[in-house]
Chains A and B, each alone.
Chain A
Amino acid sequence: MGGPRAARHQQAKSKLTPIATAEIAAGLVSAVERDGAILRTQVTQRSSRTQVLDVFDALVRAGLEVSGRFVRRPLEAQILERLDGGPVPLRGLDKVVRGATGRETAQTATSLVDRNRARFVVRGKDLLIARPDAPVLDAHARQRLKAAVRALGASLALADKKRACLLQSDVDDALKPFVGSPAPLASAAIHDVASLVDGHREGSGLTSVPKLVRLLGGLSARDALHAELLRGARAGRFELRPESGMGRLSVEDASFCIPGPQGSRLSWVRRIEEES
């Protein structure tokens, strides 16, 4: 089967294959980088049958993800990048990433949350996905908020019934504990821990260690801040105090505390310079 012409064609093609495969892969990679994703059929259209598997290998080596229909930038990375801009609604998430079906997107989002790389949050009636260090209300805070909202609801109902008003300050007071999330500070602030501790003192005169960690950017700043606080405690400038709350630390808050004696977690810091 096949005459001399076919044999020549085959010979020419086999000679060109190594270069052509790399070129094809490079072209496809740049197309994915430009558009976020391409249809998988584009790979098969540009490659011969013998090349296809090599091209796919090259694409995967280049860090791309090959799914049933698409070649794309890894879906997890795409979602995490989106989260940098703030929480994203889960519904329609497949429209803001490239080269993924709705089901794939939902599965990937769930997997990210399961591995603590993201968290689900609620806005209105929508479920959103957010960064893991996004400030959120933990279970206890939610309980307290529920109570506050219930109390405000009752006040509103009474105000309507009696044709009375609500004091703005009362509403502010009721909601104050739940609002306000300052932006992360620069990591340079770690070196001025004393001002940081002073600046974020609560009414009790104590400063929350998890709050400081979060202010400085979360997990990435934790160890450096802990080291500074411990150094300050050894020098007699700070007093680190164990947590005594009734399970009020969220899992994340607990991880932001300094391990203390007898299994305790040091969650509060106090300036003691004024005493010495």
Chain B
Amino acid sequence: MTTLGPAATGPSTSPFENNHADPWARAFVDLPELNAAVTNAIAGAITQVRSTSGRPDSEVRTTSLLVLGPAGAGKTHLFARLRRKLGPKAVFVHLRPLVGTEMTPRYVLGQIVQQLGYEVETRGGDRSLKQLEALVGSSLAQLDGVSPDWPRAFLDEVMGLDEAARAQKLEWAVERLLDRHREADETYLARLLHAPFLKPAQQRAALAWLAGRDLEEQQMQRLGVAGGLPEERILQALQTLGLFAAPGSPIVLVFDQLENLMDAEATGSRVRAYANLVAELFDATRGFVLVQMALDSEWEHAIRPQLSEAQKSRLGGHTIPIALPTPGQARELVRRWVEDLPDRPQPFPWPFGEPRVEHWSRTAGMTPRMLMIECRQALALGPDAPFDVPVAEAQPRADAPLRSVDPDNDDTALMAAWESHLVAARGALDEAAADRRSADPARLVGGMASCLHFVKDAQTSRVDARQPVQIVARVGARTCFVAFVHQTHPRSVMIALGLASDGLSQGTVIAVRERALEFAPTWKKVQASVAALRERGLQWISLERDDAARLLALESFLASAKSKDLEDCAGRIFEEAEVHAWMDRTLGVASWPVAQALAGARVEREWDGDDGAAQPRGSEPVQTGAAPSTGRSGEIPAADTATTIRACLTQLRVASLERLVREVARVKPAASRTEVVSALEAIPGQVRWFGRAIVAIREPEPR
């Protein structure tokens, strides 16, 4: 059995656990002098936009910076640092290229509006403030001729007005803004200004419209519109946002992990599409600060060669390399991390000792992430562990692998990483559910396309999240058309299904929709349409929450593998091929319902009714196989818990203990958590534990 936690003895390793920066982290250790030049360059660009746009008759422009560095050098950390440093003086939007699909202006707009809902890093006792509130508050303040640095105060003031006075004030603000920027979209501007003062349901509808998302019927009624933002207004919406935000809280679009633009076939089409998008934002919008971050090697060898001269000047005009810590900075960084340890019986350099710290700080090529991993390992050994300065490494053989393989520890590290991606994916689903929308369609499509890489004899020929049929793939001798039906309005669903059904004459059409977005009973026409299409051969998959989470996690996990963000316990980075092999071995992606449906298996989780209540078969328990099935909720008295567990795990392959308990309880409602754990412990040869939270079926050893 392996464990995920640190060694039981010794101090807590908590400051050294998070070796992957979270752009939205609130508490993190920072050394401001490390890469101060990069921070200052970005902060300077933001200040420049603010000051220029605040002056009458000034010509504000969009600026672009490119930040390059190796994996673990602190690119994403910069995002968190800038949020802390600038607080409400800028709106920060973190974007990363999607796996398998191109970024579009609509996607960028959607991400900006979604992240307007995230909180601003506030100081000390300040009340929490959303980026949307900071944006509107600082803009109103600036229009009123007061400092935009205290948006909360101004927002409270407007909030305190009675409804009529507030409406008058906002109308005045819209007029002032339109006077200043004639190219702005008036409706968009008005709805944006009103958004912070709306009631929750009204605000959700307004934000969905502002984000360019598909609207539900009720949301349309609330807003008094006939539909969402059409394609031709998306760019104008972006222009309006840029102009509106520039004087108070300029919008900083951070395109992180650009290495994910590289496709396996090295066609360069995604790089060029991205370059066109950024060039369009650079040329057609004003007041944005575009920050692009990429691995230096990938930029130099793979991305830059694909760009035209015009694109190079827009994307890479101002390039700033991320610096690695100098010896003094490395030492100071370690000292600050150590300060976060709860018990410190001795002063620094305890618990590492002077020779170790000296060696780390003098080692050439040590990134902050490597440094953190060294600290974690040394801490696990204990403060009194001896240390000999390693002899300089000899030149390795040219074909020597970068990592020495250690199957058990590698599996543990990858499993822990996968779990963290699953947790993030569940968070994204919760966020989507709160907004009553689908999970990010582009990410789900990316996940589905990635899923296909694990299906035997499958080859994707087109992945494009903008199309009604997002994936076209060849599976064996069949051509599969996959349509992800994410729309929230019945009319849009009907249009999407109509377009998807065109493929029925050419191959298999698979329609996928999240279970969370089940059709309302009143959507009679949609249900009739689905039933009719199913008669014609359409396959329908209702995507369970767990399946959707796995697809989202798959997308982000593969992106991390590409960005060199997955490493083993010793800090050595996993190669993409290793990650793929592990996924194939452990996660059994090919057996996931979506993958099986694509592979041509019978669709288990399908919509099966047109009586107004879309009754999913997917709510059935996992097919237990060995245990006789007695229906949806029937108990199987004869089946013992171990058999049920084995059957469930055979289906799930790897699952959290909670999920397994849940699945077992669906077959055997009387089964308790303790009983499941005891049964699992009784069959150690058949199951494998990852810590105490994750359990997987143990595959038979190959002979």
Contact = CB atoms under 8 A, between A and B. Distances in A.
Interface of A: 140, 143-144, 146-147, 169-170, 173, 177, 202-206, 208, 222-223, 230, 233-234, 236, 239-248, 251-252, 254-255, 258-268, 270, 272, 275
Interface stretch (B7-15, B79-87, B260-268, B331-339): B260-268
B304 to A, nearest CB: 6
Contact of A245 (B267, B295, B362, B399): B295
B403 A230 contact: no
Contacts of B367: 242
B308 A204 contact: no
B398 A264 contact: no
Contact of A206 (B300, B302, B404, B570): B300
Contacts of B395: 222-223, 255, 259
Contact of A275 (B323, B396, B399): B323
A203 B312 contact: yes
Nearest to A232: B364
Contacts of B573: 264
Contact of A203 (B297, B300, B572): B300
Contacts of B1: none
A261 B365 contact: yes
Nearest to A272: B323
Contact of B324 (A143, A204, A205, A241): A241
What's the dominant secondary structure at chain A's contact region? Answer: mixed
B319 A239 contact: no
Interface in B490-545: none
A254 B296 contact: no
B142 to A, nearest CB: 36
B402 interface: yes
Contact of B398 (A230, A251, A267): A251
Contact of A140 (B259, B266, B321, B366): B266
What's the dominant secondary structure at chain B's contact region? Answer: loop
Given A261-B365, A270-B321, A255 B70 contact: no
A206 B262 CA distance: 21
B363 interface: yes
Range, interface on chain B: 35 or more
Contact of B68 (A140, A204, A255, A267): A204
Contacts of B300: 202-204, 206, 208
5 contacts: A147-B267, A241-B296, A244-B295, A251-B399, A261-B374
Contacts of B316: 203-204
A261 B302 contact: no
Contact of A262 (B295, B326, B571): B571
Contacts of B547: none
Contacts of A208: 300
Contacts of B366: 261
Contact of A234 (B262, B299, B362): B362
B364 A233 contact: yes
B689 to A, nearest CB: 28
Interface string B279-312: 0000000000000000111111110110011001
Contacts of A143: 265-266
Nearest to A176: B305
B321 A259 contact: no
B287 to A, nearest CB: 27
Contacts of A233: 364
The 4 A-B pairs with the shortest beta carbon distances in the complex, nearest first, are A255-B398, A245-B297, A260-B365, A143-B266
Contacts of A248: 297-298, 301-302
Given A244-B295, A262-B370, A268-B297, 14 more contacts: A140-B302, A143-B265, A144-B268, A203-B300, A204-B299, A204-B316, A204-B319, A233-B364, A240-B365, A241-B69, A244-B298, A259-B395, A260-B365, A261-B365
B266 A246 contact: no
B293 to A, nearest CB: 12
B398 A206 contact: no
B231 interface: no
B45 to A, nearest CB: 18
Nearest to B572: A263
Contacts of A243: 70, 297
Contacts of B370: 242, 261-262, 264
A247 B298 CA distance: 10
A140 B69 CA distance: 21
A262 B297 contact: no
B364 A258 contact: yes
B85 to A, nearest CB: 20
Interface string B93-108: 0000000000000000
Contact of B402 (A222, A264, A266, A268): A264
Contacts of B321: 204-206, 270
Contact of A266 (B268, B364, B562): B364
Nearest to B297: A245
Contact of B364 (A203, A206, A230): A230
Contacts of B571: 262
A242 B296 CA distance: 10
A275 B70 contact: no
Contacts of B363: 261
A147 B268 contact: yes
B365 A246 contact: no
B627 to A, nearest CB: 45
Contacts of A242: 70-71, 365, 367, 370
B398 A236 contact: no
B323 A246 contact: no
Contacts of B69: 241
Contacts of A252: 398
Contacts of B393: 259
B575 interface: yes
A263 B406 CA distance: 14
A143 B299 CA distance: 16
A270 B365 CA distance: 11
